Structure 1
Amino acid sequence: MSTKQEQFIGEPLNQEQTPDSEAPQVTSSGILLEVHPSRAELYEELHNRPSPLVKTPCCVTHIALLVAREQRADEYQHLVQLCQRFSINPPAEGASCFYQNFGGFELRWESHMEFSTYTFICSGSDPESFITQPYTGRALQYVPRDWLQKLPGQSMAAVHLAMAKSSESMTQEHLDNAFEQMRLSGSQVAGNKAEVFTSFRIHSDGFSRALVIDKGLNSYQAGRLMQRVLEIETYRIMALLSLPIARKLSPQVQKMEEKLASINNSIASLNEDIDENSMLIELSELAAKIEQYRSDTNYRFGATTAYYDIVNARLKQLHEKEMHGYQTLQEFIGRRLGPGIKTCAAVKERMESLSLRIAQTSSLLRTRVELSIEAQNQALLTSMNHRSGMQLRLQQTVEGLSVAAIAYYLMGLLEYIYDAVEHQGIHIDKTTALGISVPFAVLITWAAMRKMMRSIKGAESKVK
């Protein structure tokens, strides 16, 4: 088993390496640089999905299918089955495009981020039939019907494109019949080398239709023009995929905007009776809902913008010139597709603005709640200070009464002492002695109380 070797620019190929090996070498004498593993892939990216070389007259059928991620494997296997029926080598697994001539028709398969396209090209031999009957499904006549019906995914765009040589026998009646009397958009393109007509509608066969009149295109120009017309049809439909979502969300967003406005009015009224907590709960619910909407639609609206940019780019590449009696493709799409895209952009912008305003209102309401709590705390501190003052005065009063009570009981003890002294035969004027002892008893009691209070406060300060 061979192992993958590190690749260097300037390293010559050995006998075991070939230009088609997994790590192709780039040789240049005297240079030896390590190659990034994605270098070759990035070089090839610019050459992926080349325009076809088309000879007119021809019929083209183009189908774009919305393919889910879990359907990708089935899609590949379905493509392999078609190749096996015609003994054609299938594409490599994981390939993003596949171009192959199947004999009676040419198939161009391309896989995009969320959809895949199948383009069937069939060259014609009867130029006159392309004028009288351009949309007979000729491009699909050699494609197995059972295989077509089992294509994985949901059809988003389906187009029959006829490319015919310019002919004087082409009349307005032919155009009307080909497009089932529907109103057409048309213009001269590619430096007046071709004319393009389309109705931008679904016809009776379930396909939309486009007609290119070749007035001097070479095969490369015809292929580029075919590709642009098909991409315009595909991407304009994909761009509108978010329009039903935007229309569904718009009333919901409006209700949320009205709810937020009501909350803001309540806050602005400076009504002290409002329940801030209930408002915060309502704001949290609004914020959660709008963020859910945004996360659910962010990809879809972003894809709409990208697809619309591609449509505009392809329209500019047509270099349209007006034809008498017809509206150009760019004018039609600008007038009809533009408002739908703006609707999607407006809903997206409204949701972003609403999310920001909900956050601002929540911040404002929290500030109001914090100020209210701070005011309550200040009032509580003031009340506590008042109570502390009252307690201090009460304590001082109690201390005074305690000194008096203790001094009173101390005088009672002194009276017993004086009685005991007189009983021993020592004459003392007890009344005078008690009177003289009162100030000393009060002073001693007060000093003892003060010392005790200081010791208690000192112990409390040490604990803190």
Structure 2
Amino acid sequence: MTILFSSLNHVARVPLAAEIHSRPFLRLEAPEVLSHIAVYERESMNSGSRNGVTQHDLLTALCGHFGVSAPTSEAKYFFHDFGRFRVKWECHTEFATYTFAERHDDASSPAVEFQRVPLRHVPQQWLAALQGKVMVAAHVVLDKTRGPSDAFAASLRQVFEGNMMVGSHVLQGGEIWTDFLIQADGFSRFVVRDVGLHEQQAGRLVQRLLEIETYRMMALLGLPHAQQATPVLNAIEGELASLTAAMVETERSNGSRLSDTDNEQELLSHITGLAARIEKLSLDNSYRFSASQAYFSLVNARIEELREIRIEGSPTIDEFMDRRLTPAMNTCQAIARRQEALAERIAHTNDLLRTRVGIVQERQNRQILQSMNTRAAQQLRLQQAVEGLSVVAISYYTVGLLSYAGKAAKAAGLPVNPDVATGILVPLVAAGVWLGLRRMHKSIHTG
């Protein structure tokens, strides 16, 4: 059964199936010379989108010079044979690579081959547009000279200007020679010797080698950030130590007495400032350190794929990277961990100081409540005294009114003695007023 209708496919099936084939190796056959350039877009807040636009514009300009149609803006890979040379373009998140390859019919020594690199066919105006953007520039000579490795290495001394060379047997049929240095012409140099590589192995070997060089340089971008962060971290650590010492001294001098809240607030403000500074530093460096670690992992993976075998007298690429690149990456990791540890210490100190401020405020609030309770007790006693006076006053006026009523009754001829009646009513009225006020207060409190 065959699938006849494209509508049966999931919308992502074809793109996902093509993804694994989107970056094929160059088909190389010695003798051949390659020029490799990695163009890096400077870091910015929108570096991802900006990088894609910039890289596509550069590729469009190159294609336009030779009258070739450029790929669409969504393309991440491009290959074209321009006649005198071939170009392979790959666009990554932060950079894009241009690999120019030129096959020669006549085999010459590596020293001669480095004089006729394919980059000489590229217009100088286009190269000038790369000013300040080239992160990697390398020439690779794919050689098929036969003979012992030590004799071949001796013939390369002039090519690498007498520097110490790194070399190894790779993939059970090839040799790699380089010094990982930028030569006088501004390019790194690599010599790949085909002593028995199978078909298409040369292309895979060269691509892995160029990826090692590219990812190595991209990984090292984190080192300047680590170096710049070191004095900042030292300053923040020093200020944090001073603030912590001030907190201890304040606690020691105050003893059981209440601390000065204004002083505590000032310390809290300083610690908050330190937290903001370390957070900004982490934001500035976290992406770069993470990217460096990812590139470093790719370098190690590509080196492992080479399956190196030592050539006596020369360090392998793995040994070179372990001695030169690994310490730089360890520095980046150490600074990243130091940033995290310092941020945690500041957070702990901030929490501690906030707790102290909270305790001081609680003690002050408790004293305020105690003062309020004292005032309430005084007011209660005053109120009780006032209530006693109120009973007397109300009783006085009530008895007075009743006395006038008794006098009026006597004047009307009733057998009433006002003075006697007034004397009898005084305790009764006073008791009634007192009981009435008590009941009123009780109803108010219960309500």
Q: Which category describes the TM-score, using the shorter chain as reference length?
A: 0.7 to 0.9
Q: CA deviation at 1:321?
A: 1.6
Q: For each residue in 1:19-55, what CA deviation from the matched residue of structure 2 results, as whole angstroms up to 9, or x when unmatched?
A: xxxxxx3xxxxxxx84221110110111111112211
Kindly, what percent of the aligned residue pairs are identical? 40
Distance 2:54 2:423 in 1: 118
Secondary structure at the aligned position of 1:119 is classed as strand
> CA separation of 1:435/1:237 partners in 2, compared to 1, >3 Å: closer, same or farther?
same
Contact in 1 for aligned 2:174/2:194 (Cα 8 Å): yes
5+ long unaligned stretches in structure 2: 42-46
Residue in 1 aligned with 2:272? 284
Distance 2:119 2:416 in 1: 144
Residue in 2 aligned with 1:402? 390
Distance 1:90 1:186 in 2: 38
Q: For each residue in 1:279-315, what CA deviation from the matched residue of structure 2 results, as whole angstroms up to 9, or x when unmatched?
A: 3322332222222222222222221111100100111
Q: Say yes or no: does 1:183 pair with 2:164.
A: yes
| TM-score, scaled relative to structure 1 | 0.83
Q: Say yes or no: does 1:234 pair with 2:214.
A: yes
**1:362 pairs with one of 341, 350, 356:** 350
**Which amino acid in structure 2 is aligned with residue 111 of structure 1?**
C
Residue in 2 aligned with 1:19? none
Q: CA deviation at 1:175?
A: 1.8
Residue in 1 aligned with 2:39? 65
**1:349 pairs with one of 298, 320, 337:** 337
> CA separation of 1:425/1:107 partners in 2, compared to 1, >3 Å: closer, same or farther?
closer
> CA separation of 1:420/1:135 partners in 2, compared to 1, >3 Å: closer, same or farther?
same
Q: For each residue in 1:91-150, what CA deviation from the matched residue of structure 2 results, as whole angstroms up to 9, or x when unmatched?
A: 3442111122222212111111110111111122332x3244342142223333333333
Distance 1:10 1:219 in 2: 33
Secondary structure at the aligned position of 2:220 is classed as helix
Residue in 1 aligned with 2:44? none
Residue in 1 aligned with 2:243? 263
Distance 1:173 1:379 in 2: 89
Q: CA deviation at 1:452?
A: 4.5
Contact in 2 for aligned 1:100/1:106 (Cα 8 Å): yes
Residue correspondence of structure 1 range 39-118 to structure 2 within 5 A? 39-67=13-41, 69-70=49-50, 72-73=52-53, 75-118=55-98
Residue correspondence of structure 1 range 410-449 to structure 2 within 5 A? 410=398, 435-449=423-437
Q: For each residue in 1:48-100, what CA deviation from the matched residue of structure 2 results, as whole angstroms up to 9, or x when unmatched?
A: 11112211121111110113543644543443444354454543442111122
Distance 2:25 2:390 in 1: 109
Distance 1:132 1:434 in 2: 139
Residue in 2 aligned with 1:198? 178
Q: CA deviation at 1:153?
A: 6.7
**1:35 pairs with one of 9, 24, 32:** 9
> CA separation of 1:139/1:218 partners in 2, compared to 1, >3 Å: closer, same or farther?
farther
Secondary structure at the aligned position of 2:266 is classed as helix
Residue in 2 aligned with 1:12? 4
Distance 1:419 1:79 in 2: 124
**Which amino acid in structure 2 is aligned with residue 341 of structure 1?**
M
Q: Say yes or no: does 1:379 pair with 2:358.
A: no
> CA separation of 1:42/1:417 partners in 2, compared to 1, >3 Å: closer, same or farther?
closer
Distance 1:421 1:149 in 2: 128
- State which drifts further: 326-335 or 149-158: 149-158
Q: CA deviation at 1:381?
A: 2.2
**1:159 pairs with one of 138, 141, 154:** 138
Q: CA deviation at 1:190?
A: 1.5
Contact in 2 for aligned 1:60/1:119 (Cα 8 Å): yes
**Which amino acid in structure 1 is aligned with residue 121 of structure 2?**
Y
Secondary structure at the aligned position of 2:185 is classed as coil
Residue in 2 aligned with 1:22? none
Number of equivalent positions: 431
**2:99 pairs with one of 81, 98, 119:** 119
Secondary structure at the aligned position of 2:99 is classed as strand
Residue in 2 aligned with 1:390? 378
**Which amino acid in structure 2 is aligned with residue 337 of structure 1?**
L
Contact in 1 for aligned 2:110/2:191 (Cα 8 Å): no
> CA separation of 1:420/1:94 partners in 2, compared to 1, >3 Å: closer, same or farther?
closer
| TM-score, scaled relative to structure 2 | 0.86
Contact in 2 for aligned 1:59/1:122 (Cα 8 Å): yes
Q: Say yes or no: does 1:212 pair with 2:192.
A: yes
Distance 1:278 1:234 in 2: 50
Distance 1:251 1:105 in 2: 49
Distance 1:245 1:77 in 2: 29
Q: CA deviation at 1:198?
A: 1.1
Q: CA deviation at 1:349?
A: 1.8
Secondary structure at the aligned position of 1:449 is classed as helix
> CA separation of 1:141/1:432 partners in 2, compared to 1, >3 Å: closer, same or farther?
closer
Q: CA deviation at 1:155?
A: 0.3
**Which amino acid in structure 1 is aligned with residue 299 of structure 2?**
V
Residue in 2 aligned with 1:145? 124
| Structure showing greater relative contact order (alpha-carbon pairs closer than 8 Å, 6 or more residues apart) | 2
**Which amino acid in structure 2 is aligned with residue 235 of structure 1?**
Y
Q: Say yes or no: does 1:322 pair with 2:310.
A: yes
Q: For each residue in 1:252-293, what CA deviation from the matched residue of structure 2 results, as whole angstroms up to 9, or x when unmatched?
A: 122223333333444455352362322332233222222222
Distance 1:408 1:202 in 2: 115
Contact in 1 for aligned 2:30/2:194 (Cα 8 Å): yes
Q: Say yes or no: does 1:273 pair with 2:254.
A: no
Secondary structure at the aligned position of 1:140 is classed as helix
Distance 2:113 2:155 in 1: 10
Contact in 2 for aligned 1:137/1:160 (Cα 8 Å): no
Secondary structure at the aligned position of 1:200 is classed as strand
Q: RMSD of the TM alignment (CA)?
A: 2.9
